[in-house]
Amino acid sequence: MGRAEERGDGLSIRAAGRRDVTAVSRVLARAFEKDPFVAWMFPEDLGRRARRLYAIEAGFEYLPYGLIDVAVLDDRVVGAALWGRPDVSTGPGALRSLPHLAALLGVERLPTVFRGLTSLSEHTPRTPHWYLAELGTDPDARGVGAGVGLLRHGLERADLHGAPVFLESSNAENLPFYERFGFRVLAEVPMPDGPILHTMLRDPEQAGERAVDQ
């Protein structure tokens, strides 16, 4: 499980384990219940399908092949971050999850979503990097610093490796938050009949300079 890192006010950040998958899927589904990209993926029955999506991602891809951090407050998971590692491919996990994702999306929605994901993959850096796949906090726990704590924890780890960090965001309102931590927008990638995703990259040398101002 890893050692918990205290962030103040009773909030701690620790590595997630298999027993946390349900809590991770729940908190991410709540965090992204109004996210344009998730709503585009699941125009119907969003809540249930989003929970299943994050359970698939956590269980098949990021626990076995990446890293998952959780923010814990009063013994309750209030935030989660799913990370792809620069030195480990999540490809095997993605293959394992593919049948589950296909069933979740449905026959009619599958081609459109996969066309969008294919377009998005063309804008992924080809050099080694940390990938912040998901970062979300429970709306009931906003203001306790869970999102900032999770992000700083992951960025500190990336800096130790000297590797850049890559992410995508479909909510333009979130861009200034990430820019505070040294991210810059690389591209705007439209989904078929859907939202625009912004790809962002943070170089470790820039991050060290900006951290002084936080």
CATH code (residue 45): 3.40.630.30
Kindly report the pTM of this predicted structure.
Answer: 0.90
Instruction: List average pLDDT for each run of 10 residues in the chain, which is 214 residues long.
Output: 54 97 98 94 92 96 96 97 92 86 92 94 94 97 95 96 96 95 97 97 68 40
3-state SS of the chain?
CCCCEEEECCEEEEECCHHHHHHHHHHHHHHCCCCHHHHHHCCCCHHHHHHHHHHHHHHHHHHHHCEEEEEEECCEEEEEEEEECCCCCCHHHHHHHHHHHHHHHCCCCHHHHHHHHHHHHCCCCCCCCEEEEEEEECHHHCCCCHHHHHHHHHHHHHHHHCCCEEEEECCHHHHHHHHCCCEEEEEEEECCCCCEEEEEEECHHHHHHHHCCC
Q: By residue range, what is the domain housing residue 106?
A: 5-211
Question: How many domains is the chain built from?
Answer: 1
pLDDT tens digits, residue range 31-58?
A: 999 999 999 999 988 899 999 999 999 9
